[in-house]
Amino acid sequence: MQDKLNELKKRLGEISDIQNAVSLLGWDQQTYMPPGGAGARAQQIATLSHLAHEKFIDDAMGRLLEELRVYASKLSYDSDDASLVRVAKRDYDKARRIPATLVFEIAHAGAQAFDAWRQARAASEFPQFAPFLQRNLDLKIQYAGCLGYTDRIYDPLLDEFEPDMKTAQIEAIFAEVKKEIVPLVHAIASRQDTVDNSFLCRPFDEQKQWDIGMEVAKHLGYDFNRGRQDRSPHPFTSSFSINDVRITTRFMADYFPAGFFATIHETGHALYDQGVSQSLERTLLAGGASLGIHESQSRMWENLVGRGLPFWKFFIPRARTLFPEQLKNVDAVKMYRAVNRVQPSLIRVEADEITYNLHIILRFELENMLLERRLDVKDLPEAWNAKMREYLGITPPDDAEGVLQDVHWSHGAFGYFPTYSLGNLFASQLFEQCKKEVPGLEASIEKGEFYPLLDWLRIRLHVHGRKFTLNELSNKITGKPLQTQPFITYLKNKYSEIYRL
């Protein structure tokens, strides 16, 4: 059986090499590639992706996995080998259920819809995009049918991004979040003057913004011997190995938090990928377990650490050295309050940590209505605006700032959005657990010592890579499945104090 396991590892290793090469081509595309390279690059990526897919869905791979399944079931569930066979089998079964023609049609329709979306957004005309969205939706309904489901059509689509998570579980979680958060947002909206962040909205030298970002990433524990930072229009993290995990960032010349927190956010993603056990290198277990768990790491460092008072007690003297003019008379408390200003806004990516979740809930609800054909595509803008009014108290002036703002649906990525909020929830649950197990956690952050938190995350979470699902990890680490209470308590305590509610 050892021979078969070695054969599996050899095959998966080669596929991982190809996929990592694809990621590297993608990283270059978004950082250094001259515009003229776009055509050739798209072809290279398509060829290599196709090659990796063909190798993965090979009949021989299916036979190997079937033969190893019984053997793996006798090993400890947590072991590297049992996990490798289990997760590879899960990925393989899914990949085999989708006909190649449908994969091609989805990619093709997505490319056309992306173009249509860009033009429709520029013109702020949803009807231009509607037929393309309808096509994406029809294809995804077909896709969900191929994967199969017993309860909700949303389940198999969600599963692509958050394995084993169910729509019903998210609905229950979101209902609780909504019940608590909507009144909180409305209460804060009536006290907008309580928090002043005007000193953050003035010119900040870009080189110094870069320097302070690099400095903070190092402080948090990002290993630059196994990583690097570059610039790109949209910040992202990309891994080609556990030992080569890169981040990108961007700056706004006259709004300090944009670049600073983008760097911390991506550093959080990178710390996770760098922390996966070396024994999982070059297997499909290297990397984060799901989008939601990945987002829990970026948001923990960005919000629970970087937007926390202990962090600013440590960091404000250094920030003031770099920006003496802008931060004159700004102490830790003033900075803490300013970086936590809440402002119900039209645009999801600009939202603060409270209202962000309402943007997600809105999208999740609309996606379900569309997929279950309870809502017609033509009526989508109206439904969008009605929910914006209900949850955030604001109405988009046009489609560009409303229903057309996100790229996801143009690619046919339905089921993706909830993972952002799952990340917020899980981050709070983990942080609460860490505080119980690591005494003096916040006192150490105040001293600029981040390793107690990082070490805890490494041992409890990062090291496992893709072995476990969100609910498995949650039970393993905190003794409970995903909870809403830690997140709601955190928000209520923090913002009642900041806004003196």
Closer Cβ to Zn ion, 121 or 299, answer by number: 299
Write the CB contacts of 177 (distance below 8 Å, at least 6 apart in sequence).
357, 361, 421, 425, 484, 487, 488
Give the separation between CA 80 and CA 82, rounded to whole angstroms: 6
Q: What is the nearest approach in angstroms of Zn ion to the Cβ of residue 235?
A: 8
Q: What is the nearest approach in angstroms of Zn ion to the Cβ of residue 416?
A: 12
Closer Cβ to Zn ion, 272 or 414, answer by number: 272
Closer Cβ to Zn ion, 205 or 230, answer by number: 230
Q: What is the nearest approach in angstroms of Zn ion to the Cβ of residue 436?
A: 26
Interface with Zn ion (CB under 5 A), residue from 83, 209, 267, 298: 298
Write the CB contacts of 293 (distance below 8 Å, at least 6 apart in sequence).
272, 423, 426, 461, 470, 473
* Amino acid residing at 448: G
Q: Which spans in 124-225 are helix H?
A: 126-147, 154-159, 167-189, 206-220
Longest alpha-carbon distance in the chain? 68
Number of residues engaging Zn ion in binding (CB under 5 A) = 1
Closer Cβ to Zn ion, 248 or 298, answer by number: 298
Binding segment toward Zn ion, per CB under 5 A, in 150-158, 296-304, 356-364, 378-386: 296-304
Q: Take residue 426 and report the two structure tokens written for it.
A: 């899980």
Closest to 274 in 3D by CA, of 313, 242, 308, 305: 242
Give the separation between CA 303 and CA 309, rounded to whole angstroms: 11
Pairing of strands 244-249, 227-231: parallel
φ/ψ (deg, to 5) at 331: -100, 180
Does the annotation count 302 as an active-site position?
A: no
Closer Cβ to Zn ion, 35 or 233, answer by number: 233
Task: Give the bridge partners for 249, in sequence order.
Answer: 231
Binding segment toward Zn ion, per CB under 5 A, in 223-231, 297-305, 337-345, 442-450: 297-305
Give the separation between CA 470 and CA 425, rounded to whole angstroms: 11
Closest to 496 in 3D by CA, of 354, 302, 301: 354
Closer Cβ to Zn ion, 298 or 474, answer by number: 298
User: What character string, x for contact with Zn ion (CB under 5 A) and - otherwise, covers 51-80?
Assistant: ------------------------------
Closest to 163 in 3D by CA, of 26, 328, 284, 343: 284
**What torsion, rounded to 10 degrees, do the Cα atoms 373, 293, 171, 409 define?**
-20
Write down how long the chain is.
501
Closest to 290 in 3D by CA, of 158, 110, 171, 168: 158
Closer Cβ to Zn ion, 94 or 408, answer by number: 408
Q: What is the nearest approach in angstroms of Zn ion to the Cβ of residue 396?
A: 24
Q: Does 238 bind Zn ion (CB under 5 A)?
A: no
Q: Does 303 bind Zn ion (CB under 5 A)?
A: no
Q: Take residue 194 and report the two structure tokens written for it.
A: 């309580």
Q: What is the nearest approach in angstroms of Zn ion to the Cβ of residue 298?
A: 4
- Indicate the DSSP class of residue 79: S
Q: Does 229 bind Zn ion (CB under 5 A)?
A: no
Give the separation between CA 144 and CA 443, rounded to whole angstroms: 48
Q: Does 267 bind Zn ion (CB under 5 A)?
A: no
For residue 2, count other CB atoms closer than 10 A to its CB.
8
Active-site position among 67, 215, 266, 367: 266
Give the separation between CA 375 and CA 367, rounded to whole angstroms: 9
Q: Does 297 bind Zn ion (CB under 5 A)?
A: no
The label of the residue with tokens 């938190």 reads 453
Give the separation between CA 313 and CA 112, rounded to whole angstroms: 50
Q: Does 355 bind Zn ion (CB under 5 A)?
A: no
Q: Is the dihedral of CA 45, 46, 49, 51 positive or negative?
A: negative
Closer Cβ to Zn ion, 297 or 478, answer by number: 297
Q: What is the nearest approach in angstroms of Zn ion to the Cβ of residue 107?
A: 24
- Indicate the DSSP class of residue 148: -
Binding segment toward Zn ion, per CB under 5 A, in 121-129, 138-146, 294-302, 435-443: 294-302
Write the CB contacts of 252 (distance below 8 Å, at least 6 apart in sequence).
258, 259
| Residue of minimal Cβ distance to Zn ion | 298
Closer Cβ to Zn ion, 295 or 399, answer by number: 295
Binding segment toward Zn ion, per CB under 5 A, in 8-16, 195-203, 295-303, 427-435: 295-303
Tell me the catalytic residues.
266
Binding positions for Zn ion, rule: CB under 5 A? 298
